[in-house]
Amino acid sequence: MNALPTPFAPARAEVAHAGADAAEVFDRLRRHLSPKLALTGSFAGRGAVETAALGPRVTLSDGRTALDFGSYAVTLLGHRHPAVVAAVRQQLETMPAATRSLANPVAAQAAACLAGYLGDRLPKVYFGLNGADVVEVAVKLARLATGRDRVLAVNGAFHGKSLGALALTHSPLYRAGLRGCTVDVVHLDPQDGDAVRRETAAAPVAALVFEPVQGENGALVLPPDVLRTWCADAAAAGALVVADEIQCGLRRCGERSLALAAGLPVDAVLLGKPLGGGVVPLSALVCSERFYAPLAADPFLHSATFGGHPLSCAALPAALEAIEELAPHGRRLSALLDAALERSAARFPQVVRAVRGTGLLRGVDLVSARAAGTVLVELAAAGLLVSPCLSRPTTVRLLPPLVCTEEDLAHGVELLDGALAAVALGTDTAGAGAARAGTAPRHATGAP
């Protein structure tokens, strides 16, 4: 087995649980946040709450540990990566907040580092805190830079839930009760290679926005040939091209940027989720001079109090360096995951319809939403955290971190196979039975 090529240590979270009063936590969630958050959190933790984490594992208030293949793609470097924590701690002890009137060297260094990381093809950077932040500014700048209003997005897309980003998000689930959104958006069929050409001929288009891999849509990889045609047609019509790689970029799917690695003529790449190393929130729009021109003319055209926050920007160089050190290990994990999921699909053909995705972003599509729900129940009981796909409820999403060992990966797939077996048999496994009985199966504690 291959050891991790970093000083990042254990395959198990060597941290003591904080002994949090789970009942009090759930009561506060019900009273001050959302009762449904309390319900889903109680279900996922079987009555316990998260209290600590290290590497690929999370410790719960009852002392159990869970393997984290979820966290919505944030923890690509696992939890508390030592190099990222050290960088943030050093900044915390010097200047944790920016004045916003003086120039901040940490933000300047982070911007230069990120532009260089993508090969200096896109020299301009805007920092946000989450994905929707940079989707919003990307749409705003594209419309201003081109003087056009219409934006092209893709069926199945997810770009965020704030009002502007929500217009690009395809699922009507998130727009329930809203009369409309403020951006004129046309969604395209990803199998229709002529769609961009037709739309740009029909009326002016400001931008084409796409995810090379649609994470929320069940880890669906968009056809590369269609993307190449779309990008060329958009560029020929004077529209700007935006690759949203907030979930699939930064080596999650093998490349620093899937669009740039494929040679697509993009004007902007959106990054986020693991950009802050899994320690602090950070997102970024990395773009061309033309795209950025409205902000170059007026830097206060779009601003945010905590945009370019020193703690977040301090994490970026350490996070990118750690990601690059782990990239070869990630390629090995990806190959192992390919083979393992192929075996799982062959073992349970009556349950698994398809396995989608690439790299360390995978979707296991099941025969029904009910089957996917059963798998989620089983995995929660067994001690594997995964991310459901709200836009595709038949799919269970797997997001293993780069800091997994090969043993961790094999263990995660073993737990998945146990959940698939429960669906195939139509009966409960020991894990689900233990959950009802209030006891933990052996593998839920991290024991081999």
pLDDT of residue 433: 34
Express each pLDDT in 22-80 by its tens digit. 999 999 999 999 999 999 898 889 899 999 999 999 999 999 999 999 999 999 999 99
Report d(CA 49, CA 42) in Å as an integer. Answer: 7
Phi, psi of 375 (to 5 degrees): -60, -40
Tell me the longest C-alpha to C-alpha distance in the chain: 64
Mean pLDDT, residues 420-426: 93
At residue 171 the predicted structure's pLDDT band, cuts being 50, 70 and 90, is: confident
- The packing angle between helices 22-32 and 35-45, to 10°, is 150
Does the pLDDT of residue 1 top 60, yes or no?
Answer: no
Mean pLDDT, residues 196-204: 98
Mean pLDDT, residues 407-429: 89
Neighbour-count burial for 13-50, b at 16+ CB within 10 Å, e otherwise: bebebeebebeebbeebeeeeeeeebeebbebbbebbb
Q: Token pair of 294, please?
A: 């409205």
Report d(CA 380, CA 45) in Å as an integer. Answer: 7
pLDDT of residue 390: 83
pLDDT of residue 177: 75
Q: Where are the beta strands (DSSP E) in 148-200?
A: 151-154, 185-188
At residue 183 the predicted structure's pLDDT band, cuts being 50, 70 and 90, is: confident
Q: Taking CA 132 as the corner, what is the angle to CA 85 and CA 356, rounded to the nearest 5 degrees?
A: 85
Instruction: Report percent pLDDT > 70 for the chain.
Output: 90
* Pair 267, 276: CB distance under 8 Å: no
Report d(CA 238, CA 234) in Å as an integer. Answer: 6
pLDDT of residue 7: 39
Mean pLDDT is lowest, of 119-123, 175-179, 281-285, 392-396, for: 175-179
Return the SS3 of 260: helix
The candidate with the shortest Cα–Cα distance to 227, out of 271, 196, 272, is 196
- Give the start-to-end residue ranges of the domains of the chain: 22-80+326-445, 98-308
Mean pLDDT, residues 391-412: 97
- One-character DSSP codes across 204-259: --SEEEE-SEETTTTSEEPPHHHHHHHHHHHHHTT-EEEEE-TTTTTTTTSSS-HH
pLDDT of residue 446: 28
Does the pLDDT of residue 11 top 50, yes or no?
Answer: no
Enclosing H/E stretch for 65 = strand 65-69
Mean pLDDT, residues 167-183: 79
Does the pLDDT of residue 434 top 50, yes or no?
Answer: no
Express each pLDDT in 105-157 by its tens digit. 999 999 999 999 999 999 999 999 999 999 999 999 999 999 999 999 999 99
- The packing angle between helices 105-117 and 310-347, to 10°, is 30
Report d(CA 226, CA 193) in Å as an integer. Answer: 5
pLDDT of residue 180: 64
Express each pLDDT in 345-354 by its tens digit. 999 999 999 9
* Pair 115, 360: CB distance under 8 Å: no
The candidate with the shortest Cα–Cα distance to 446, out of 40, 15, 130, is 15
Assigned architecture for domain 22-80+326-445: Alpha-Beta Complex (3.90)
Express each pLDDT in 82-108 by its tens digit. 999 999 999 999 999 999 999 999 999
- Residue scoring higher pLDDT (248 or 13): 248
At residue 4 the predicted structure's pLDDT band, cuts being 50, 70 and 90, is: low
Mean pLDDT, residues 211-234: 98
Q: Rounded to 5, what percent of the chain is helix, strand, coil?
A: 45, 15, 40
CA 368 vs. chain centroid, Å, equals: 24
What is the CATH T-level fold of the domain 98-308, as seen in this structure? Aspartate Aminotransferase; domain 2 (3.40.640)
pLDDT of residue 365: 97
Mean pLDDT, residues 422-438: 52
